[in-house]
Amino acid sequence: MQTAYRLYPLVALTVIAGASLWLDRITRVEEAPGQIEPQTGPDFAASNTRIVGYAHDGSQRYELLAERLEHFPADDTTRLTQPRLTVFRPGTEFHVTAANGKVSPGGEQIDLSGDVRARRSRSADAPELVLASETLTVWPDPQSARTDQPVRLTQGQTIADALGLEADNLFGTLNLTGQVKVHMPRRQDRSS
């Protein structure tokens, strides 16, 4: 009988330890295994935005205006609604408007889509140049642009249609690609 009294504290401790383990298991919240879903929506949005880029000398290189700007962290892109881009160059300006735009990470590239219209202002030796296309990719820093969609250029009374375009505003070159058709009106002879 004396051995039964000696085992009583051991049995009591075992019951308390078992009850503690049981209570811990039934009150534990199980976390579902799996990954956290990445954010698919924008983390930042702004209305009536203005972004200005400056050169090393402090002069303004470009200005980007948009009705709405949304940044998406999943791919680090920025989407624009009704973007209006102006690229400044000594003696001329290059204006571009579109329905939508997408800015790459770091802002090196702007993909414009939906009724894209571009206009290079008149210079001392050339009339205004107007471009119309459905898409246009613009690189503001090297001041170049490209599209693989049909494009129409109008300069004065001269009209050119092509299936694509590559423009380099720094060198002043404009290359039309694919089935280029140009209508140039006759020059009027000034001597008659």
Q: CA–CA separation, 114 vs 38, rounded Å?
A: 29
Task: Compute the residue count for the chain.
Answer: 192
Identify the pLDDT of residue 10: 64
Identify the pLDDT of residue 133: 94
Q: CA–CA separation, 162 vs 93, rounded Å?
A: 23
Identify the pLDDT of residue 98: 95
Identify the pLDDT of residue 138: 85
Dihedrals phi, psi of 2, to nearest 5 degrees: -70, -30
pLDDT digits (tens, 9 = 90+) for 52-77: 888 888 888 888 899 999 988 888 88
CB 156 within 8 A of CB 127: yes
Identify the pLDDT of residue 187: 72
Q: CA–CA separation, 168 vs 140, rounded Å?
A: 11
Intervals of the chain under pLDDT 50:
192
Please choose, from the candidates 93, 152, 156, the residue with its C-alpha nearest in 3D space to the C-alpha of residue 127: 156
Q: Which numeric CATH code is attached to 44-183? A: 2.60.450.10
Please choose, from the candidates 77, 58, 79, the residue with its C-alpha nearest in 3D space to the C-alpha of residue 68: 79
